[in-house]
Amino acid sequence: MTKPFDLNLRHLRALVSVVALRSLNRAAETAGLSQPALTQGLAKLERQLGVLLFDRHSGGVEPTLAGTALAERVERAFAHLAAAARRQGRSAVRGFSRPEQLMTATQLQAFLHFADAQGFAGAAAASGLSQPGIHRAVRELEQISGQVLAERRGRGMALTPAGRAMARGVRLAAGEITAGIAEARGETSAASRIAIGAMPLSRALVVPRAIAHFLRDCPGTVIDVVEGSWRELIDPLLDGVIDLMIGALREAPPPEVEQVALFTDRLAVFGRREHPLAGRKVGLDELQGQSWVVGPQGTPLRAHWQALFAGDPPPVPVECGSVMVIRGLVMQSDLLTLLSPDQIAVELDAQMLVRIDLDLPGSVRTIGLTTRRGWRPTAAQQRLVDLLHQASDETRLHENQ
């Protein structure tokens, strides 16, 4: 399997120039290479990928579909590197205004190992590279970008804010090149991995239904479902560690993300079958005297719950974002909770939990997808997104029947 940093970045930059200029001579001049060196570099890329990137003819070269697809992804990759490298001004190397063009695949790969391990020893152990080699790569990137990327803290090393930004840029660049390799090879359903960030209180039926359909369509793809709160998932999303998030949408999301609604979810109050309020109509005033287990502060579900009590909420002895823990607590105590019926469908069918009968105003939340702004999904990722929309529509249709 070809990894993104197995490819020579200078050859990839040259590929973009050839696609744009349709001329080996002019592209070689732009890339600072001789034409024979450029020709050899492109031939090596084609051997590594197993595809033709250009059709050669007497009038010049014409990119194939594979060449165009890879070049588009490479451009996006270098845009991520440029954004990370230019956060604090010009490169320290001869005042060079395009620091990303000086970076090598070896430097970027070593820096990512260092960023993941937060230290040279750990990076060397994880990667098989030497500590001096990783140290040299980090310092070279600092010189190229004109930024301090790592600093000593106590006995260890830590990334600076510029270092964290660089790590994010490198990860996103690696993701774009990986996608470009797959698209150049025409791998629409070949073995790959898609990471979904699933918020604990997101709908229980839609994600499993979409994934089940997806695996029938793309049997070689691994789906990695990472559960966490919005706060736990947003940085991995922006870093490119996960590809998309599903859960309750935010009213004021950060500008770096885009949100797309899938469906609205009507919440209800639940308790155990033997709860004193079970089996009869109750009012909001009776809920005021109850103890609750609800989601953490700052979550949309918690905001819905607080709105029920007009700024004077009842006691919350347990704050929890895990549906599994919430279900167990409610079944074994007189705690009440606010959830979607889908999240406890099994317990409701078995009558271990029951809906508390009351009129619940303002109990609708919007569930949807959150992605990085400008994210361009691969064919497999787009197929999963389409199936999430389809599963949402099917669930709404079933509920309305």
| Residues 103-137 pLDDT 10s | 999 999 999 999 999 889 999 998 888 999 999 99
User: Alpha carbon of 27 to those of 9, 85, 364: distances in Å?
Assistant: 15, 24, 56
Picking from 83, 109, 90, 106, the residue whose alpha carbon sits closest to that of residue 147 is 90
What pLDDT sits at residue 401?
47
What CA–CA distance (Å, rounded) separates 234 from 355? 32
201 contacts 248 by C-beta, under 8 angstroms? yes
- The model's pTM: 0.82
Q: Quickly count: other Cβ atoms within 10 Å of residue 152's Cβ.
A: 8
Q: What's the chain's average pLDDT?
A: 88
Q: Is 391 left (phi over 0), alpha (psi -120 to 50) or beta?
A: alpha
Residue with tokens 């279900």: 327
Q: How many alpha carbons fall within 13 Å on the CB side of residue 349? A: 5
Q: What is the mean pLDDT of residues 332-339?
A: 95
Residue 159 is classified by DSSP as E
What CA–CA distance (Å, rounded) separates 106 from 144? 14
86 confidence band (pLDDT: 50, 70, 90): confident
pLDDT at 331 over 50: yes
Tokens of 382: 């787009």
pLDDT at 14 over 50: yes
Residue type, 131: Q
What CA–CA distance (Å, rounded) separates 191 from 392? 26
Please report the sign of the dihedral spanned by the C-alpha atoms of residue 292, residue 298, residue 303, residue 306: positive
What pLDDT sits at residue 213?
93
Q: What is the mean pLDDT of residues 286-296?
A: 92
Residue with tokens 């994010």: 168
Q: What is the mean pLDDT of residues 68-90?
A: 86
Tokens of 17: 């120039």
275 contacts 384 by C-beta, under 8 angstroms? no
Q: What is the mean pLDDT of residues 223-247?
A: 93
What pLDDT sits at residue 397?
62
